[in-house]
Amino acid sequence: MKKSDKLVVIGGDAAGMSAASKVRRVQKDREIVVFERGRHTSYAACGMPYYIAGQVGDVDRLIARNPETFRKNQNIDVKVHHEVIRIDTTDNIVMVHDLENGKEFSEAYGELLIATGAVPVKPELPGMDAKGVFSLSILQTGINVYKFIENIKPQTAVIVGGGYIGIEMAEALLERGMKVSLVDMAPQVMATMDPEMAGLITDYMRNEGVEVYLEEKLERLEKGVGGRVSGVVTDKQKLKADLVIIGMGVRPNSDLAKEAGIELGVRNAIRVNKKMQTSVPGVWAAGDCSESHHLITGEPAFIALGTVASKHGVTAGTNISGGDAEFPGVLGTAITKFRDLEIARTGLSEKEAKSLSIECKTAQIEARTRSGYYPGSATVTVKLVVEEASGRLLGGQIVGMQGAGKRIDTIATALTAGMTARNIMDLDLSYAPPFSPVWDPVQIAARKLV
């Protein structure tokens, strides 16, 4: 192929490498160059809390393919420790900073894929530069936390933020024997869920030994000997801390695109169409730096999930290599756990539906994960949200013990199919005592709505 057909990819994780791999499968001889500012590619960032907890013995198990594998097996020129610092869409070049030798150089492209991911929200407050303060983003940050725990052996930890990372890290640090506190300025953990469902999570975490402090705003961090963090100060109290995890959410890493004049959209994510094309011809974007289309609202949305990023990448790669694909959209389906408690959600919550002025009704039920007489049967709470006039499903949430969470996939499938509560109630789902009651909990909630 001509040199002008070179594909340059910025970012070497889920979206970037999925796209590069798809292009390579279709176009065997195309020149593909990937710039990654970190040292790892194609890693399971979602596995970092479990590595930190000691449940994953070797960090290499979180890496699907390393840079050398891409170079040797797929002829994809992956350059790690290379940070793209500027995009010139007029001359079709990117300026790159080699982080190892400090040199800068330009790289021409025929087509460009921006897959720069998301970056943690980290407020500029006193003490944030203290040793022992971490935000999880790229794999190296998880490695840094693990090494800090191994070397310093902290006894008390404070987590700021009660979202997915905060909850998973609370579990991880409990497993490492620390006294754990979690602080959030919101009135609940898990802001993507409704308050009554989030309350079940808070109660369980407290019962398991986590001190949960809600409606408390972080004001500063305090330093002790050697510049290490020693305390967390909120607007209500001071908490001792040898280790602090900042888990206040993420924002799209879209500054490069903005500086290049590429159009941004919701929450400053890079605006893309369903083919993952940006506002500039020949420039594509995928993953946590870009928008998605929400299947329920029909509006652009920013949803930073590994599942979405991988699908974005495949869609972009298909189109870059001459195919015709569209990303169908997202529901925000997500699942996590805290010890034995499984937490899942999809679609719109009740509060989200009401904020969009959608007339809705809900049903919340408590049931069993298995037949009540079968060993291991445990409680599960299911909440469904439907459009009042039509009964069309809008969303669902599940909080329960082992065996509860993956039922969210039934709800996500029903949402994608545009099903009503009556349709869900009438589904011919499987039944046997070790797996479910005669009426599955999701169907019990649907039946209550009908």
Q: Give the separation between CA 129 and CA 202, rounded to whole angstroms.
A: 29
Averaged pLDDT for residues 253-281: 98
The pLDDT value recorded for residue 259 is: 98
Percent of the chain with pLDDT over 70: 99
What is the separation of C-alpha 431 from the centre of its chain, rounded to a whole number of angstroms?
32
Percent of the chain with pLDDT over 90: 99
User: Tens digits of per-residue pLDDT, 344-353?
Assistant: 999 999 999 9
pLDDT of 445 higher than 90:
yes
Q: How many residues are listed for the chain in this entry?
A: 450
What backbone phi and psi angles, to 5 degrees, belong to 442? -65, -40
What are the structural domains, with CATH classification, of the chain? 3-119+251-320 (3.50.50.60), 122-248 (3.50.50.60), 341-449 (3.30.390.30)
The pLDDT value recorded for residue 3 is: 45
pLDDT band, residue 4 (cuts 50/70/90): low
pLDDT of 416 higher than 80:
yes
Averaged pLDDT for residues 434-448: 97
Averaged pLDDT for residues 148-163: 98
Give CA separation, 435 vs 337, 374, 382, in Å: 19, 9, 16
User: Tens digits of per-residue pLDDT, 341-384?
Assistant: 999 999 999 999 999 999 999 999 999 999 999 999 999 999 99
Residues noted as catalytic = 46
The pLDDT value recorded for residue 2 is: 41
User: Tens digits of per-residue pLDDT, 176-216?
Assistant: 999 999 999 999 999 999 999 999 999 999 999 999 999 99
pLDDT band, residue 418 (cuts 50/70/90): very high
The pLDDT value recorded for residue 57 is: 86
The pLDDT value recorded for residue 1 is: 39
pLDDT of 272 higher than 80:
yes
User: Tens digits of per-residue pLDDT, 67-81?
Assistant: 999 999 999 999 999
Mean pLDDT of the chain: 97
Averaged pLDDT for residues 3-9: 85
Q: Which residue has the tokens 């109290």?
A: 237
User: Which residues sit opposite 393 in a β-bridge?
Assistant: 386
Q: Give the separation between CA 44 and CA 61, rounded to whole angstroms.
A: 9
On the 0-12 / 13-18 / 19+ scale of CB atoms within 10 A, 150 is: exposed
User: Tens digits of per-residue pLDDT, 244-254?
Assistant: 999 999 999 99
Q: Which residue has the tokens 């170079």?
A: 71
User: Which residues sit opposite 105 in a β-bridge?
Assistant: 96
pLDDT of 318 higher than 50:
yes
Contacts of 23 (CB under 8 A, 6+ apart): 7, 30, 32, 317, 320, 321
Q: Determine the Cα angle at 363 with ends 360 and 365, to 5°.
A: 165
Q: What is the pTM of this model?
A: 0.95
Give CA separation, 364 vs 371, 381, 391, 406, in Å: 19, 7, 15, 17
